[in-house]
Amino acid sequence: MEYRVIGKTGIPASIIGLGTEHLDGASGRDIDSTIHAALDAGINIIDVFMPGPDVRRKIGHALKDRRDRVLLQGAIGSTDIGDQYDISRDLATCKRYFEDLLRYLQTDCIDFGMLFFMDSDQALDDVSENGILAYARQLKKEGKIRAIGASSHNPDVAKKLVLRGWIDLLMFSINPAFDMTPVGENTLDALEGGFHVPNRQGLRPERHELYQLCEKHEVGITVMKTYGAGKLLSAEHTPFSAAMTTTQCIHYALSRPAVASALVGCESAAEVSDAVRYLDASAEAKDYTWIFQEEHGRLDQACVYCSHCQPCPVGIDIASVHKYLDIALLGTDRIPPSVRQHYLALPARGEDCITCGQCETRCPFAVPIMENMRLAETWLGRSAT
């Protein structure tokens, strides 16, 4: 397993995490075997978003004696009504649900308390005015959560969460289809309605800007809907010309800026095994660029961080250099010191480029890589001011 630090939390998470939504209704034995397969594979982050107490109890049972090996994401701002999840912005209800979660999971601390379903400006107002944000901060002070996060499907609202400094991490829905959906469209409606991608115009800048903003502010992202609720894996339901593989979906999510972990919903040990096969996959198996080439045209020489141009003979991680360069070139703001530090920490950087040109022959999007290596050094290198 590989691990990445979740932004400013400083906590390393496995690059593949486990979503537990699909375990709802499963037997205790199946929940045990799925969660144990994940932990045995080195997965150390699990999102617990579950309506009914029964499944939460079973997850608690599966984690018993292994709690210290896993990071838990739990919701603040949700509740259960008749075993169906619901959103709550009532402080007393949120407190009861959170305390229940601790009890069912047999723990006294959830690592990440996630403000739940922050998809509208109204949600921002409600968690602030109803004392839910203050409650999350209190939980952090008391050590009942280690960091405050939020879950969202709306890039505009998520940006506000980051800019207001409310959160340390963000769980956001990321996959190629959502990233092509205009911000005004409800991505969950798109899922329900057959998962077409309306007005396809390539990757939407507002979503890309969110990921860059997170990188800039050191808000780590954990990804939900990595497989688009399974529809991207289905030839019948995909909006693209062919089904994606789980490896391609995971690679797409992991190649967005700021992403620490791609959570995948699994309902069996076999599905966990399928997901972690990503770790041994070849560059060809990970390649998702056909989506953009076949259906969505050129991307105006913009890097999509796919790593199709690798390997570089001097070991430059070309996608990572582009992630930091793109943030450096954003607007007129001062370049955040953390971005420069991350750039300088790369084992090889723009200054090491020997202009061999091999990468440019492999990039499907005609990105001027050699010129960008020079620019990266100018803006972020040791002699940059």
Q: Under the rule (CB under 6 A), what is the footprint of ligand SF4?
A: 303-309, 312-314, 316, 318-319, 322, 353-359, 363, 365, 367, 369-370, 373
- When the beta carbons of 120 and 355 are compared against ligand SF4, the nearer one is 355
Other Cβ atoms closer than 10 A to 302? 16
- When the beta carbons of 205 and 357 are compared against ligand SF4, the nearer one is 357
- Alpha carbon 326 to its chain centroid, in Å, reads 19
Distance in angstroms (rounded) separating the CA atoms of residues 164 and 159:
9
Distance in angstroms (rounded) separating the CA atoms of residues 160 and 331:
17
Instruction: In angstroms, give the least distance from the CB of 364 to ligand SF4.
Output: 6
Residue in the block written with tokens 């609720």: 229
Total residues found in the chain within this entry: 385
Q: Is the dihedral of CA 293, 297, 303, 305 positive or negative?
A: negative
- When the beta carbons of 200 and 374 are compared against ligand SF4, the nearer one is 374
Residues whose CB falls within 8 Å of the CB of residue 381, separated by 6 or more in sequence, listed in order:
343, 344, 349, 350, 351
Instruction: In angstroms, give the least distance from the CB of 212 to ligand SF4.
Output: 15
For residue 348, list its beta bridge partners. Answer: none
- When the beta carbons of 137 and 290 are compared against ligand SF4, the nearer one is 290
Instruction: In angstroms, give the least distance from the CB of 240 to ligand SF4.
Output: 18
Instruction: In angstroms, give the least distance from the CB of 304 to ligand SF4.
Output: 5
For the record, the structure tokens of 127 come out as 């968690």
- When the beta carbons of 272 and 309 are compared against ligand SF4, the nearer one is 309
Instruction: In angstroms, give the least distance from the CB of 372 to ligand SF4.
Output: 8
Q: Which amino acid is at 163?
A: L
CA-based R_g, the chain, Å: 21
- When the beta carbons of 103 and 296 are compared against ligand SF4, the nearer one is 296
Instruction: In angstroms, give the least distance from the CB of 87 to ligand SF4.
Output: 38
Residues 5, 14 contacting (CB under 8 angstroms):
no
